[in-house]
Structure 1
């Protein structure tokens, strides 16, 4: 399960900005935490320091001691085993890692394509679908995403007219 994504370097000493995908970033990224990575050959990474720079999280990992090493980690996902994540009690909430890979289908049952990612744009979540080789964003709202069946591997979408024509 992805708990964060490494962004650009901050400064020249190996610090990086991290976009957290967890409700408990202080706990998940505490000093001494060891995180696996995707791709796996970039890790594991051990957190040496955690700082907040305004609303952004800045981490320093052991052995990442200059800007070049920090930039080489840009885009790397920080992951934990699914067994380490807390249970979700709300049936309308999902882990991003559970949504990625689901098959998106229309209300008519036609396959649209796989869910490649879930992104946040201006406080709203969007499913990133691969439809005929083109990336399409679908607002992750109840009016459009009618069903999420993680065990069944399917998400049912009722796209408004013109959504995929842009």
Structure 2
């Protein structure tokens, strides 16, 4: 979502009530929690329209770590019942689109969506979405033949050129095309002399 040079950045998901005082365990979608999850940070909530939290924001009062899991405390969430009402909510923040990541080889989703995907100098599709999974991120690439899930790893996506609007890929055989049926069969052994 973009408005007045601002976009929404998904930074986390509320996963489970923690304790009796309204704390909620978080799944983080940001590499920079020290910057995104500070006291006073305000998050737009993505919840079902039937939720009493629909259309509201949530303000973080404290972030703690328990057994290496982040746990958030939020203004207006005073007990376990209130916390359970927020489970599965997605947290979004407003982000200025001109903001760039300070990390090398790190991009925001909105910077990648819409870029041309090029393989061997030929355009094969367009980045439609970035999926963040526990093992690795995936680029969902729209191609004429359908959607292709491309692991967003250096070996397969060696370069991203935002200025040129190009993501270069070097995928393994079969990722963007069907392999012939005989490709899975081992080569025939030559007869012994």
Q: Which residue matches 2:14?
A: 7
Give the structure 1 partner of residue 92 of structure 2: 78
Shift of residue 128 of structure 1?
3.1
Which of 117, 124, 133 is the matching residue for 1:111?
124
Tell me which residue corresponds to 1:150.
162
* Counterpart-to-counterpart distance in 2, 1:96 and 1:78: 13
Report the alpha carbon displacement of residue 121 of structure 1 after superposing the two structures with TM. 3.3
Counterpart Cα distance in 1 of 2:77 and 2:43: 14
Uncovered stretches (5+) of structure 2, i.e. residues with no partner: 1-7, 48-53, 180-193
Write the distance in 1 (CA, Å) between the matches of 2:41 and 2:34. 10
Unaligned runs of 5+ in 1: none
Pairs aligned (count) = 160
TM alignment of 1:84-95, pairs within 5 A: 85=99, 87-88=101-102, 90=104, 92-95=105-108
Alignment of 1:115-126 (within 5 A): 115-122=128-135, 124-126=136-138
Inter-CA distance 24–117: structure 2 relative to 1 (3 Å threshold): closer
What whole-Å deviation, never above 9, does each CA across 1:1-51 have from its counterpart, x for those lacking one?
526121322246543332334444234212222234568x64432102312
Q: What is the TM-score with the length of structure 1 in the denominator?
A: 0.70
Larger Rg: 2
2:113 to 100, 106, 131: 100
When the two structures are superposed, what TM-score results if normalisation uses the length of structure 2?
A: 0.63
The alignment status of 1:26 with 2:42, answered yes or no, reads: no
Please state how far the C-alpha of 1:157 moved relative to its aligned partner. 1.6
Measure, in 1, the Cα distance between the counterparts of 2:42 and 2:83.
Answer: 21
How far 1:83 sits from its partner (Å)?
Answer: 6.0
Cα distance in 1 between the residues matched to 2:159 and 2:170 = 10
Greater alpha carbon shift after TM alignment, 94-103 vs 77-86: 77-86
